[in-house]
A = this chain, B = another copy of it.
Amino acid sequence: MPNIATTSRRRDDVLALPIRLDRAIRNQSQQVHSALRAGIVDGLLAPGLRLPSTRGLAEQLGVRRNAIVAAYEALLSDGLVEARHGAGTYVAAALPAPETAAPVAELDIRIPPRRPFALGFTLVDPALLKRLAAASRRRIAQAAPDELGYGDPRGSLHLRNEVAHYLAANRGVRCDPSCILIVSGTQHGLRLCIDALLAPGDAVWFEDPGYVASRHTLSTTVAKLVPVPVDGEGIVVTAGEKADARARAAYVTPSHQFPTGVPMSMARRIALLDWARSAGAYVFEDDYDSEYRFAGPPLTALAGIGGERVIYLGTFGKTLFAGLRLGYLVVPPELVARVVAARAAQDRFPPVFMQEALADLMADGVIAAHMRRMRPRYRQARDVVAEALVKHAKGSLQLSAPAQGLHLLATLPPGAPKGAARLIRERAGIECRLLSDARIVQRGPDGFILGYSGFAAKDLADAARRLGRAAQDVLRDSRPPRG
């Protein structure tokens, strides 16, 4: 039971402060030091107050006198007390005013709840987690001393080799592992590119509509975002040239434009690369969910057909799950040194163990097998949503169900009243991003960006039914009465 010194003031040598000693912990001097320090810093023991003699406090607390001597010495080192020769120990006369630490009351940290149609969730096989867990255990338990110190800013060579193989086989991107950086995800990779390659005030083409998180990353770090419209072939390069031909970079999602789902045509790809070459600009290719293509193999990445201006951003956040915090950056050889230097002034290098564990799973074919198992499940999820929307919206929503990816776009018909999308989302009680959230310049009808990965088919069908019905209801209510 903890000993509580009373606040009695019978004699000078009794401390007017309760000190709880936990007898189970051996280091009593440290406990006394902590308690006195807290009392002084809090102002309970006022500047100039004489502390009890070491003998007196030892008796009061029932501990060895040496423990009190050590505690007082530590307070002296801290500068919290002063020893006056022959006169004892006093709380230091000059101390900062005490403060009270307040918790953070109203912090706006919105992590979307796991329900349809939030983006960023995935299905994760318990069997896969088990394999990852075993690989992680093995990698940590068998870590060599050299693996525990500072590492290569690009990350594990083992994982970079596996990523290079994966990209060559699946994305048509051939690169040397020396040009790959392992990062936390696509936003982290984008941020490194910004730090390394752009200066404040540089203009950057941005797909409109486009990916909200990347817009945030770019707009809070680079001064000038140039919205460039997207049509059925992807980013309209001529519009970009008209808006700002001298931009320093373009951020694009060529395999599966976010949120429209359009793949960038070869003509546009060529036009974009031509512009980048002539302007000396960079193309940031965010290839965020190209792995899950439901018809045929994945489209070749832009980095696979004209790499010297293209920085490729990939992630395991969609193939596996976001909480893994692993993605990668493929950088043209002549830019690697600059991106590596930018990392030195940021997070330095990525954590070792999960990289090695993931590389083990890739080398064993476990990740490829996981993707093969997930692909039909995501296709089914897409179909469940699309079918329920078609059935229940009865024409109130237009769908573009893409051949790949983890979300689809449902748009309102032209002429739908302003604010209808927000109202429909509220009535349906669903979680989702609106198309207008992804637009910089507001034009055309609003819509719903519907993430379908990571949820049970039943929940998806239910949410889609509610969305379809709400859309019908809201549009019917808002229709002007026939004249």
Contacts and interface: CB of A to CB of B under 8 A. Distances in A.
A133 B336 CA distance: 33
A96 interface: yes
A172 interface: yes
Interface in A188-235: 188, 191, 200, 213, 216-217, 220-221
Contact of A176 (B104, B333, B352): B104
A325 interface: yes
B136 A134 contact: no
B266 A78 contact: yes
B306 A96 contact: yes
A133 B141 contact: yes
A121 B150 CA distance: 8
Contacts of A124: 143, 145, 148
A351 interface: yes
Given A104-B179, A140-B132, A345-B191, A114 B299 contact: no
With a 10 A CB-CB cut-off, give which of A149, A169, A184, A266 has the most chain B CB atoms: A149
Contacts of A147: 323
A74 interface: yes
B130 A136 contact: no
A296 B148 contact: no
Contacts of A136: 133, 136-137, 140, 353
Interface of A: 29-30, 33-34, 37-38, 41, 70, 73-74, 77-80, 92, 94-97, 99, 101-105, 107-109, 111-112, 114, 120-122, 124, 129-130, 132-134, 136-141, 143, 145-154, 168-169, 172, 174-176, 178-179, 183-185, 187-188, 191, 200, 213, 216-217, 220-221, 263, 265-267, 269-270, 273, 296-297, 299-300, 304-308, 321-326, 333, 336-337, 340-341, 344-354, 454
